[in-house]
Amino acid sequence: MKTYTNPVYPYRRHADQDGAPARHDVVIVGAGPIGLALAIDLALHGVGCVVLDEDETVSVGSRAICYAKRALEILDRLGVGQRIVDKGVGWNVGRVFLRDALAYRFDLLPETGHRRPAFVNLQQYWLEQFLVERAGELPAIDLRWRNKVTGVVPHADGATVTVDTPDGPYTMQAGWLIACDGARSPVRHLLGLESEGQVFRDRFLIADIHMQSDFPTERWFWFDPPFHPDQSVLLHRQADDVWRIDFQLGWDADPEDEKRPERILPRLRAMLGPDAKFEIEWASVYTFQCRRMKSFRHGRVVFAGDSAHLVSPFGARGANSGFQDTDNLAWKLALVLAGRAPERLIDSYDAERTFAADENIRNSTRATDFITPKSAASRTFRNAVLELAKEHPFARRLVNSGRLSVPAVLADSALNTPDTDADFARTPGAMIPGAPAADAPVAGPLGDWLLGHVGNDFTLLAFGNAVGGADVAALAHAPIPCRVVQVGGGATAGATVIEDREGLVARRYDGRFGTIVLLRPDQHVAARWRAFDAARVRAAMARATCND
């Protein structure tokens, strides 16, 4: 590769490798994006962990490129969002072509007043490198390269883990073992567990090329283009003038043959024109699957990211949903380890994230079925939709080249306190209990955005002087603390006051004087009321932490 050199993270012998097995509260298997994000999140909650990775570098070749707004917001909370945004390329607009004509154009973030765009594109190795560097700033993280997990024996209070290293094997005891070890998940296999779903009978050539081009920074998707008849093609811009091109090849394509430059170059020339100057950075042939484990928690062994669930890339729901796993898991694990919540709080991780995984799988499966129709009738309807879309607006809503990653609304979660005030908005996008918190422009001590002021701890968003100083202090000093962020109004001792610069906090949260919104540490709405009542807040927090 011309634009990136994989760093080498050296193996270091650790004291654990001599003497009796050490015990660690949390051991994470895998330093991919998800394992790293979890380690950082735990460290921010004051929980130390050991991270084991069999490799000595970040990911190699063409993998994730699109990080969705919600993932960026999580990465902001972890302290790496800005680096990713600065290095990557942001985009909101997509175009879908049928043959040689534009079928339609969509804008994923039509409204302003959000810190982050709908998507930022960045090669996965950069993302991982930034996460490794962020982890390096946090002494609570003990990251061990070339430490390959080869054995796991689960117990009631943890697991015994066998690790192979260049100096030979050693064992350790883990209070909690979090398997972030990717789609093939050796931990899953060692435990004899399955991940079930379907494989799509199609193959895709994924090529990353380096080229100077004036294509706009948009997602372009073609059905049946003249340069690649009967199949689909996707074009995306990444950092450093690298472009991602996916060619659908069909099930009968020979993956080994299709990887050869002699096969790839004519395809690229047909698409980009005979004069285009480019170099291939990386190319591989993929088959995609959608599947998940039945349960993400097995006693003290918990699965997150690709080990737990796998989707086809149409919709960019892989890493994006993995970051939502760690967002969900980290604070719960921190509370359980601190003895402030019962272990069954981790069951809510399973319930909430399997629900989200099903939504992601449903969306990716629908897109993949549209792109790769399974029957003649399905192909006919697909083509009919595309034909109609050229002229008729209704059909454009049916074209599915990937419904791009949006976070799940955990509306049915047992951690939510249902609304008791009947006049709250419940329209799509409303901040109902279970919704991920919407961003909005503010002016406050922690910057210009609402999401910079909430999360990590429980946060009470109070519109105006709704919570008195004594209550603010009581919330701050409770066993599970809750900060008060006050939107507008005069100063209250102990509360952070922010200004609603454009009135969008009030609009997005359906807030008026006195409205209270309780946010979880992962920035999801737990409860909301039209007036503050300390007992109701305590009850909602107890419910959100399984202390009820």
Q: Where does this chain bind ligand FAD (CB under 6 A)?
A: 29-35, 52-55, 59, 62-66, 124, 148-149, 180-182, 186, 206, 286, 305-306, 313, 316, 318-320, 322
- Considering only residues 387, 476, 489, 547, which one is a binding residue for other proteins as defined by CB under 8 A? 387
Q: Which of 311, 323, 346, 357 is nearest to 523 (CA)?
A: 323
Q: How far is CA 104 from the centre of its chain?
A: 27
Q: By Cβ distance, which residue is nearest to ligand FAD?
A: 32
Q: Is 392 in the site for other proteins (CB under 8 A)?
A: yes
Among positions 321-380, residues that touch other proteins (CB under 8 A) are 376-377, 380
| Residue 388, binding choice from other proteins, ligand FAD, none, Cβ under 5 to 8 Å by partner class | other proteins
- What is the DSSP code string of 19-70? SSPEEEEEEEE--SHHHHHHHHHHHHTT--EEEEESSSSS--SS---EEEHH
Please tell me whether residue 391 binds other proteins under the rule CB under 8 A: no
* Cα 245 to Cα 385: distance, rounded to the nearest angstrom: 24
Compute the Cα dihedral for 376, 379, 383, 385 and give only its sign.
Answer: positive
| Strand residue runs (E) in 212-288 | 219-223, 232-237, 242-248, 278-286
With CB cut-offs between 5 and 8 Å by kind, which of other proteins, ligand FAD, none does residue 52 bind?
Answer: ligand FAD
Nearer to other proteins, 394 or 423 (CB): 394
Task: Rank residues 192 and 394 by Cβ distance to other proteins and give the closer one.
Answer: 394
- CB-nearer residue toward other proteins: 377 or 493: 377
Contacted by 290, from other proteins, ligand FAD, none: CB < 5 to 8 Å by type: none
Q: Which two tokens stand for residue 94?
A: 């997509």
Tell whether residue 395 is a contact of other proteins (CB under 8 A): yes
CB 188 within 8 A of CB 152: no
CB of 135 to ligand FAD, least distance (A): 13
Residue in 8, 102, 384, 534 binding other proteins, rule: CB under 8 A: 384
**Which residue's CB is nearer to other proteins, number 384 or number 470?**
384
Binding-residue total with other proteins (CB under 8 A): 13
From other proteins, ligand FAD, none, interface partner of 104 (C-beta below 5 to 8 A by class): none
Distance CA 141, CA 138 (A): 6
- Residue whose CB is less far from ligand FAD, 316 or 505: 316
Of residues 388 and 414, the one with the C-beta less far from other proteins: 388
276 binds other proteins (CB under 8 A): no
Token pair of 286 as six digits: 């993929």
Q: Distance (Å, rounded) from C-alpha 357 to C-alpha 116?
A: 23
Closest alpha carbon to 94 in 124, 122, 66, 127: 66
Q: What is the C-alpha to C-alpha distance for residues 130 and 84, in angstroms, rounded to an integer?
A: 8
318 binds, among other proteins, ligand FAD, none (CB under 5 to 8 A by kind): ligand FAD
For residue 395, the partner it binds in ligand FAD, other proteins, none, with Cβ less than 5 to 8 A by kind, is other proteins
By CB under 8 A, name the one of 252, 394, 428, 493 that touches other proteins.
394
Instruction: Sort residue 13 into left (φ over 0), alpha (ψ -120 to 50) or beta.
Output: beta
Per the document, the length of the chain is 548
What lies within 8 Å, CB to CB, of 513 at 6+ separation is 463, 464, 466
Residue 11 partner contact from other proteins, ligand FAD, none using kind-dependent CB cut-offs of 5 to 8 Å: none
Among 383, 456, 496, 547, binds other proteins (CB under 8 A): 383
**Under the criterion CB under 8 A, does residue 104 sit at the interface with other proteins?**
no
**Alpha-carbon torsion angle 84, 86, 89, 92, nearest 10:** 90
CA distance 255 to 76: 38
10 Å CB burial of residue 463 (0-12, 13-18, 19+) is buried
Answer yes or no whether residue 398 interacts with other proteins by CB under 8 A: yes
